[in-house]
């Protein structure tokens, strides 16, 4: 896609790194964000500031990285905006509900725009390095058009089917599993500490034996050390993803009994003022339940 102009919507901590990766790959990137400061930062790196969303959709392709269903629907699922678009491809990289993914696909198809869902695995430093794992789904022609852009932002693209909602389902399932793992490690660390074992020693052993890999060594260390700032993924976003899993489960008649426990734990953490912390701070709830010192 040499010479392709890319419109980019959503310059949060993840979006800035992803737009930067596209710039490094040689794309002309036109950026839009609700607050102006990230736009100015990207312009300093060589991006062009879009005059509005219509200007974004005047590019050849659009990439978006917004926080939730509400933001995507309010900003991007506007029939007037899509009817006037020159873009022939929209890659939505947000973690959104299955329902929204299906509606977005139908609306884009109605207006002749290829739609690819491509949520990601990785934190802001990984996005900035262009090393994301990307979960993608869409019709083959749209995926083929999206592939060079995805390759610029990620280390590997994992394909999940021809319906965009399939990629969102895979991402929701993944984040649900991560939330369960964080809760399990929090309970195990609380059990260890209450019986005189240092949580850091427990996690070091587990990371080097039964559970090697980034979940135990990364999130496990955060839980054991009670290190929840700076937030790479804020706690309210964790609650959002647990709710997405519960909604998807209810729609497909798949019981997720741990999901209800997780939702209450995240609400407990928010009620105790942890909303600006990393979602690993849900571990503080397990400590409170165990009567351990704050």
Domain spanning 168-289, CATH class? mainly alpha
* Rounded Cα gap, residues 11 and 36, in angstroms: 10
Does the pLDDT value for residue 221 go beyond 80?
yes
* Rounded Cα gap, residues 220 and 230, in angstroms: 16
What CATH topology corresponds to 5-162?
A: Rossmann fold (3.40.50)
pLDDT tens-digit map of 20-48: 999 999 999 999 999 999 999 999 999 99
Average pLDDT, integer, range 147-151: 98
pLDDT tens-digit map of 84-111: 999 999 999 999 999 999 999 999 999 9
Which carries the bigger pLDDT value, residue 147 or residue 2?
A: 147
160 touches 225 (CB < 8 A): no
Alpha helices per DSSP H over 92-135 = 98-110, 124-128
Confidence of residue 2 (pLDDT cuts 50, 70, 90): low
Average pLDDT, integer, range 6-30: 97
Chain-wide mean pLDDT for the chain?
97
Domain parsing of the chain, residue ranges:
5-162, 168-289
Average pLDDT, integer, range 103-121: 98
Confidence of residue 1 (pLDDT cuts 50, 70, 90): very low
Average pLDDT, integer, range 111-134: 97
Q: What is the pTM of this model?
A: 0.94
pLDDT tens-digit map of 65-91: 999 999 999 999 999 999 999 999 999
Q: Kindly state the tokens that stand for 116.
A: 């690819």
Q: Which of 194, 193, 214 is nearest to 202 (CA)?
A: 193
* Polymer length in residues for the chain: 294
User: What pLDDT is attached to residue 294?
Assistant: 82
Does the pLDDT value for residue 158 go beyond 90?
yes
Q: List active site positions.
A: 171
């Amino acid at each position: 896609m040499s010479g392709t102009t890319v419109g980019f919507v959503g310059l949060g901590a993840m979006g800035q790194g992803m737009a930067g990766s596209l710039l490094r790959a040689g794309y002309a990137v036109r950026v839009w964000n609700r607050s102006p400061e990230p736009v100015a930062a990207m312009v300093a790196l060589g991006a062009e500031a879009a005059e509005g969303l219509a200007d974004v959709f005047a590019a050849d392709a659009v990439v978006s990285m917004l926080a939730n269903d509400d933001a995507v629907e309010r900003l991007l699922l506007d029939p007037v905006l899509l009817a006037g678009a020159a873009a022939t491809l929209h890659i939505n990289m947000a973690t959104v509900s299955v329902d929204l993914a299906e509606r977005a696909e139908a609306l884009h198809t109605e207006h002749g725009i290829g739609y690819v869902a491509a949520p990601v695995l990785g934190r802001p430093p990984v996005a900035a390095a262009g090393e994301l794992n990307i979960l993608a789904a869409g019709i083959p022609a749209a995926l083929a058009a999206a592939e060079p852009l995805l390759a610029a932002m990620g280390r590997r693209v994992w394909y999940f089917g021809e319906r965009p909602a399939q990629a969102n389902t895979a991402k929701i399932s993944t984040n649900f599993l991560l939330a369960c793992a964080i809760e399990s490690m929090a309970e195990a660390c609380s059990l260890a500490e209450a019986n005189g074992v240092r949580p850091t020693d427990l996690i070091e052993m587990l990371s080097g034996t039964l559970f090697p890999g980034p979940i135990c060594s990364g999130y496990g260390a955060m839980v054991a050390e009670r290190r929840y700032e700076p937030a790479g993924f804020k706690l309210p976003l964790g609650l959002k993803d647990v709710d997405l899993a519960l909604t998807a489960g209810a729609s497909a008649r798949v019981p997720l009994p741990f999901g209800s426990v997780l939702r209450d734990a995240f609400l407990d953490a928010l009620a105790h003022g942890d909303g600006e912390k990393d979602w690993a701070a849900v571990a503080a709830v397990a400590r409170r339940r165990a009567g351990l010192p704050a």
